[in-house]
């Protein structure tokens, strides 16, 4: 059975959530796309930053 890594799961969640946010919170297609990409970058960026913070706290 296919089991994604934690980072792959985060990417999948970020893709789904940012797609929903973009579609539901903006009016035009261009604004939807830009906001969806913005949300995706924030999801992934915050995950990377917080994982490094937890790494250094755990040491």
Query: How do residues 3-59 score in pLDDT, each as one tens digit?
Result: 889 999 999 999 999 999 999 999 999 999 999 999 999 999 999 999 999 999 988
Place of tokens 């937890």: 54
| Cα 49 to Cα 10: distance, rounded to the nearest angstrom | 13
Cβ-Cβ contacts under 8 Å for 21 (sequence gap 6 or more): 35, 36, 39
Whole-model pTM: value is 0.87
Read off the tokens for 48.
């990377």
């Amino acid at each position: 059975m296919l089991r994604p890594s934690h980072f792959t799961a985060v990417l999948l969640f970020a893709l789904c959530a940012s797609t929903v946010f973009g579609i539901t919170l903006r009016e035009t297609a261009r604004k939807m796309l830009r906001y969806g990409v913005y949300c995706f970058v924030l999801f992934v960026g915050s995950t990377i930053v917080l994982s490094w913070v937890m790494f250094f706290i755990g040491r």
